[in-house]
Chain A
């Protein structure tokens, strides 16, 4: 229950964060990009798949010809 409560709190915080920026949620051709400094706090994002880890090991030999 404690974990569930924490999750709700976090979700509410995320929604509050979005509302504070006042972005429009309807899709439109000329959508906007706005800086939200609160996103700077998100570090070391993990991915569910192992794709990023796999890609980190790849040697790229790029020529762009």
Chain B
């Protein structure tokens, strides 16, 4: 992807990534976590500000944070880079992407749409829809689709 990206740090099994967003509001630690869903071949991509809860001595990914750091495209490209890395190591694991809000899910749809040609060189891309029972199924990605989320599958 021909967009500047931040360097990433990852844990040994490449399920957790960390980088520093550098922008108008300073330096903000970001975390990306890939966690398995009920479908053991499908991993959820969780992303947000990486913060420490000093009281309980644990880490939190604040996926509702709005940073306004002026580097949104760089941040999204960096998250995409982590998906390339994760799926290169685990090509059998598919990635589920859903925003923490509907607006963010739409943002991700636009980002996928804008880079669809390049992403499609590496991934099969699907939209995720909910049926009447709340179960989620895949359909081919459509730039105008109103999706519950997205699934990318390494080719």
CB <8 Å contact, B39 and A60: yes
CB <8 Å contact, B16 and A39: yes
With an 8 Å Cβ cutoff, the count of chain B residues facing the other chain is: 64
CB <8 Å contact, B55 and A3: yes
Q: How far is the CA of A55 from the CA of B6 in the complex (A)?
A: 28
B63 to A: closest C-beta gap in Å: 5
Question: Is B35 interfacial (CB-CB < 8 Å)?
Answer: yes
CB <8 Å contact, A31 and B8: yes
CB <8 Å contact, B38 and A48: no
Residues of B within 8 A of A (CB): 2-14, 16-18, 20, 22, 27, 29, 31, 33, 35, 37-39, 42, 44, 46, 48, 52-55, 58-65, 71, 74, 78, 81-82, 85, 94, 96, 98, 100-101, 124, 126, 131, 133-138, 151, 153
